[in-house]
Amino acid sequence: MVFDPGRLKFDDRGLVPVIAQEAETGEVLMLAWMNEEAVGRTLESGRVTYWSRSRGDFWVKGETSGHVQELVEMRVDCDRDCLLVLVRQVGPACHTNRRSCFYTAVRDGEDVEIMAPMV
């Protein structure tokens, strides 16, 4: 069956959440959003393209920083309302210069930083 981005279940803003995961290691890198056009651009170019909710514009990951995400595979969840993109991440994924945006653990009721910024 041919994949049709229009069959995804977008929210009332026309967006679907996207989890980015490092293809080689399985490390969860970040959560962002795509609209239907961003899904198409990602599949067409092989460069992961998100929709920036704050800027209201497309955001090709790494376009300005060089920390690109090369698409390896895109997966759709069972409800068709969330995507998983398996990527080759170049450099840090997080704007804080960390490999992953998930660098804070909650341990015994405390926030614990478990990942330092990349040098």
Q: What is the b/e burial string over 88-108, where b = at least 16 CB atoms within 10 angstroms of the residue's CB?
A: ebeebbbeeebbbbbeeeeee
Q: Does 57 count as an annotated binding residue?
A: no
Q: Does 94 count as an annotated binding residue?
A: yes
Q: Does 77 count as an annotated binding residue?
A: yes
Q: Does 82 count as an annotated binding residue?
A: no
Contact 35, 15 (CB under 8 A): yes
Structure tokens at 42: 């990602």
Contacts of 79 (CB under 8 A, 6+ apart): 9
Q: Which residues are annotated as a binding site for Mg(2+)?
A: 77, 79, 81
Q: Which residues are annotated as a binding site?
A: 77-79, 81, 94, 101
Q: Which residues are annotated as a binding site for Zn(2+)?
A: 78, 94, 101
